[in-house]
Chains A and B, each alone.
Chain A
């Protein structure tokens, strides 16, 4: 039995309605408990800001796509080099660092739970192997279903239950967590050299539209009672005027779930563009935020862009091709058989560039204009908008109008006429930041009942203590202190152990992977469906029996069983 007592912590725990109370946190055997014995090890937090461990609800840190980003950019490995030290392995890389690099840097920022945003089912093993070497965070993998042939056929036949059954079988087989749709239909159309322009364009051959795909999969997701909602990367990413397509997609979504949203729209910054071409490109964050304000069934994340060098990577193959035509730099394009595809391009976002400056403003506007922080979470779509190490700066920008104005003075001078940002006075408070970086993310992912994102007795003892006293620091003026504090925790506690202290990671750690196994009746077990088996054997390059990810790929796994209505 190991016990730990965190004394005099200034706790903000939004899921329990605690906002800046000084209290003690008792931990026994990796869980939060009511009280511990006198023998417990004591950490004196001395009134420092104490939050539940950070939860990143959309990041790309593991898997084939990330790894190909590493292959493509050996120059990236010249940055961020740290030697082996204590329990820490050597790391390198900036936008696509080594797995240990990701894990240590997240841990030092107080993050303890990560959701890999997109895993191609066929390549799931790679993701799980890299999870194993991301030791200081619990991990989950969103699984791609945007161009799954069997699902597209079931949608064409109007059979939502079959869609749900295929999702159930696949999630269980690849040990995935949630359902991700990336440019639904578009990546499949890309395999025919085409794209879909918006939600009413039919996908070649299958003749279903993205609107039908989104609606059917949302219904199927709720039939399976998955913890997380459908996780959508809308069609038409990154094109001027795409906000109307985004609103159209949001408008498709009914409110089907009491506990959480019905749709998680990711990196909405990339989908909130006005104008008809690059020349009249402008921000449409206002209509998006107003629309989301009126619909509790939608939660989004920012997808904030920060200036500097990074790598874009997505399952949205056609979008990356367009980006390639713009930049004419390195480009990788990948096809995943019957499932999806992907593309990767390294980019540099520049202040001197008008489009980049507008993108930077839009992300911030979304967070500031959306009334409820529970509906707009903090992300950069790491590493697409910026590497996650920029989160503290984003927190600084959201909390300080003065910092925003100072930064705004350095961007392209024409930005002012294209974005509402300079007129926004709102400054987020500590509670709202805590929602956007942990409580809101945990609720959106449906993992608060698994003890994530809060500090109630019974919860996982994941705690981040930041070297900052909220009653002594005025974030509006002293934003640099806020940035410094969020960049480096005093203590990061994971499963009841201090894993990071003042920028040093102290233990090797071992991660747990959360995955979902929906329970379906025999009639809906796709493993016994003759048609599904025949198609599988005919078109896949692997045997169906070799497809499922074996137990040994997930070291400490937490299997979440759901009772499906099938």
Chain B
């Protein structure tokens, strides 16, 4: 089953829409769903032109395609466990929160908190991801616990904060505090980033570019060969009695 949701132009396009109901399994029982815009609850067809092709009796067989100006659409795919969501443009904050299975593919950019605290499944973002991509939430001890997030553009600050499991790959640069408070999992940044893996406890963080503002409480171990690259291996964060591994191509300490 393929559900296509084309965003209708709205007069107040700038008001965010809370769309946690947009999850493939909800469409198995029809398209009579509700979303909130500001303090008003709206029917799905008031916001989107809805079209359905085919039918399905398992969430795995449902694909939801979002098109139009969806950058203000929040919480799409929250608690996703099966099926696929394809976003042709950009997507708003908190896309794929807590997801445990299924796939989300975003062709444009993603706003903050993409895949926050996810436990499984796959997110592919072909554009850039904003801050707190694949991270935990305020005060929480564990962030993302499993699954895969792959970003082909750049990522913002606090990428994979409190990462506890799973894999995060960013093909461009990442921002400040990349992999802060990591306690497990694997983080790979193909470009540069700043202050990687601060206060990490465990897990592996790879920076194929230059780590700027390198944290001084990491112990240099030596060089290793990884994926055809020569990387410098550090262990830490000693300030947190950490046993994590940080691999960087190049690094600069703060002056």
The residues in B between 123 and 160 inclusive whose CB is less than 8 angstroms from any CB of A are 137-141
The residues in A between 73 and 99 inclusive whose CB is less than 8 angstroms from any CB of B are 73-76, 78
Q: Which of B139, B140, B241 contacts A72 (CB 8 A)?
A: B139
Residues of A close to B240: CB separation below 8 A: 328
Residues of B close to A72: CB separation below 8 A: 139
Shortest Cβ-Cβ A-B pairs, 8 listed: A75-B139, A74-B139, A74-B138, A75-B140, A73-B139, A75-B138, A328-B241, A75-B137
- Complex-state Cα separation, A74 to B137, whole angstroms: 9
Residues of B close to A76: CB separation below 8 A: 139
Instruction: List residues of A whose CB falls within 8 A of some B CB.
Output: 72-76, 78, 328-329
Residues of B close to A75: CB separation below 8 A: 137-141
Instruction: List residues of B whose CB falls within 8 A of some A CB.
Output: 137-141, 240-241
- Complex-state Cα separation, A328 to B242, whole angstroms: 11
CB-nearest residue of chain B to A71:
B139
Cross-chain pair count, CB within 8 angstroms: 15
CB-nearest residue of chain B to A73:
B139
- Complex-state Cα separation, A76 to B139, whole angstroms: 8
CB distance from A70 to the nearest CB of B (A): 10
- Complex-state Cα separation, A328 to B183, whole angstroms: 14
The main secondary structure of chain A at its interface with chain B is helix
CB distance from A560 to the nearest CB of B (A): 40
CB distance from A309 to the nearest CB of B (A): 10
Interface-central residue, B138, B139, B141, by most chain A CB under 10 Å: B139
CB distance from A424 to the nearest CB of B (A): 36
CB distance from B31 to the nearest CB of A (A): 27
Residues of A close to B138: CB separation below 8 A: 74-75
CB distance from A330 to the nearest CB of B (A): 8
CB-nearest residue of chain A to B241:
A328
- Complex-state Cα separation, A76 to B138, whole angstroms: 10
Name 14 interchain pairs, CB-CB below 8 A, sorted by A: A72-B139, A73-B139, A74-B137, A74-B138, A74-B139, A75-B138, A75-B139, A75-B140, A75-B141, A76-B139, A78-B137, A328-B240, A328-B241, A329-B141
- Complex-state Cα separation, A74 to B138, whole angstroms: 6
- Complex-state Cα separation, A76 to B141, whole angstroms: 11
CB-nearest residue of chain A to B136:
A75
CB distance from B18 to the nearest CB of A (A): 15
- Complex-state Cα separation, A78 to B138, whole angstroms: 10
Residues of A close to B141: CB separation below 8 A: 75, 329
- Complex-state Cα separation, A73 to B140, whole angstroms: 8
CB distance from A269 to the nearest CB of B (A): 26
Residues of A close to B137: CB separation below 8 A: 74-75, 78
- Complex-state Cα separation, A74 to B139, whole angstroms: 5
- Complex-state Cα separation, A75 to B136, whole angstroms: 10
CB-nearest residue of chain B to A75:
B139
CB-nearest residue of chain A to B138:
A74
CB distance from A301 to the nearest CB of B (A): 30
- Complex-state Cα separation, A561 to B138, whole angstroms: 47
CB distance from B95 to the nearest CB of A (A): 19
- Complex-state Cα separation, A29 to B163, whole angstroms: 59
- Complex-state Cα separation, A74 to B140, whole angstroms: 8
Residues of B close to A328: CB separation below 8 A: 240-241
Residues of B close to A73: CB separation below 8 A: 139
CB distance from A546 to the nearest CB of B (A): 34
- Complex-state Cα separation, A78 to B140, whole angstroms: 10
Residues of B close to A329: CB separation below 8 A: 141
CB-nearest residue of chain B to A77:
B139
Taking A75-B137, A328-B241 as known contacts, 13 extra A-B pairs with beta carbons closer than 8 A to each other, sorted by chain A number, are: A72-B139, A73-B139, A74-B137, A74-B138, A74-B139, A75-B138, A75-B139, A75-B140, A75-B141, A76-B139, A78-B137, A328-B240, A329-B141
